[in-house]
Structures are given as structure tokens and as C-alpha cells.
Chain A
Amino acid sequence: KQEVTQIPAALSVPEGENLVLNCSFTDSAIYNLQWFRQDPGKGLTSLLLIQSSQREQTSGRLNASLDKSSGRSTLYIAASQPGDSATYLCAVTVPGGGNKLTFGTGTQLKVEL
């Protein structure tokens, strides 16, 4: 059974700092890995999608990497801003189960002024 773990569960950094969020998964048989952002009381916003054959994806200040063989992904946020404060979730898509997403429990990020 696929399990996804995110460390740390919570993180507080000063504005302007570069930071890395970690995601690990137990079964390397994935279609892709997706990073989401969730704001309090809101839905999930897709940030980056990495296919199983890819090593990384970039969007603005965000860079996500994928090492499928070791079951790890990282989300790098450059020059963090208070508006980046949110919960970040990673999820893998596994074969079968109708394109099911298996989620980690998230990292709650707070960027302080």
C-alpha cells in the first residue's frame, strides 16, 4: 500500500529565506507526483506536476524535483514571502483506482515578516 510522508509537519521561516519541503513515498510505481497548496478554508491549488519520467519542474519561484528510485520529492521555494504561508501537500498518482491521488498529511508553512 502506497504511503506518503511529509516532513516537517510545520515550518516557520523569516521572509526572504529559501526553503525546502520534503515528500517521500513507499512505492516507486507512480504515474506522477503533484504538489498542491491549501489555504485555510479553501480548496487545493495545483502548483507543479512531475511525470514519473521527469526529474524536475519549475514555475516561478518554485522548483520541484523527483527521485523515483529513492521515493523522494522536494519542493524548493526561493525568496519566500508572507503570501506563501499555507499548507503544502504532495500527492502521487498510482496505477489502478481511477487515477487516485495518495496524499501526504502536509507541511504547514508560515513566512514571517
Chain B
Amino acid sequence: EAQVTQNPRYLITVTGKKLTVTCSQNMNHEYMSWYRQDPGLGLRQIYYSMNVEVTDKGDVPEGYKVSRKEKRNFPLILESPSPNQTSLYFCASSPGTTRSYTFGSGTRLTVV
């Protein structure tokens, strides 16, 4: 089944403890992105990647890192999480600019 898989689905952590949210797609898509969803603000892009080893900042990149060492994987790294990073995170992939996006099921992160 074609899908984007995120792990974990739920995560509660403490301020400053490094964490990684994994994202993997099995559709050989070129484009991958991370979004966060917050009430009243909608979905905003954090980082994106157009191919292996090609990544760039989105609208809200502060406090996040990403890497794209393999085409299928695009992990999101929070080096020192803070409470304002409490949010619902989505990974998404697409084969190109004129094609639709496929989203993962989301990761609900709480930083206390």
C-alpha cells in the first residue's frame, strides 16, 4: 500500500530533551515536507526536501533540523524542544509540482 509512515503517533517529552520524529514513504517521491498544525494558525511548512541531500527552510524552521540521506526517509529533529513546539506534526510527500500530496497520519507532540 502506498503510504507515508510517521512515528511515533504520540509523544510527551520534557524541555531540552532531543527527539526525532521519523517519516518514511514507499512511493519513490522526490518531494517531502514537514508541516505543523496549530489551532487558529492552520498548517505551516517547517522544512522541505526536493531530493536526496537537498533540503531547505519553510515558513517556521526555527528550532528544527532535517536530513535527507535516503530518498524514502525524511526525519524531523528537535535538538532542544521547548513548550512552543507542542503541536500536531505532519510529514507529506509528492512526486512533483503538479501532483497531489500524500500525508502521514500525524504525530502529536507535547513538550512540558
Binding site for B on A (CB under 8 A): 31-32, 34, 36, 41-46, 49, 51, 89, 91, 93, 97-101, 103-106
Say whether, besides A32-B98, A43-B105, A105 and B42 are in contact (CB < 8 Å): yes
Of A32, A36, A101, most buried by chain B (CB within 10 Å of CB) is A101
CA distance in complex: A24, B90 (Å) = 23
CB contacts (< 8 Å) of B59 on chain A: these are 100
Size category of the B interface is 20 to 34
Question: In the bound complex, do residue A99 and residue B40 qualify as a contact, i.e. CB atoms below 8 Å apart?
Answer: no
Say which one of B13-21, B43-51, B77-85 lies at the interface with A: B43-51
Extra contacts, 13 of them, besides A42-B106, A97-B56, A106-B42 (Cβ < 8 A), are A43-B103, A44-B90, A46-B101, A97-B58, A98-B48, A99-B31, A99-B33, A100-B33, A101-B33, A101-B43, A103-B42, A105-B41, A105-B42
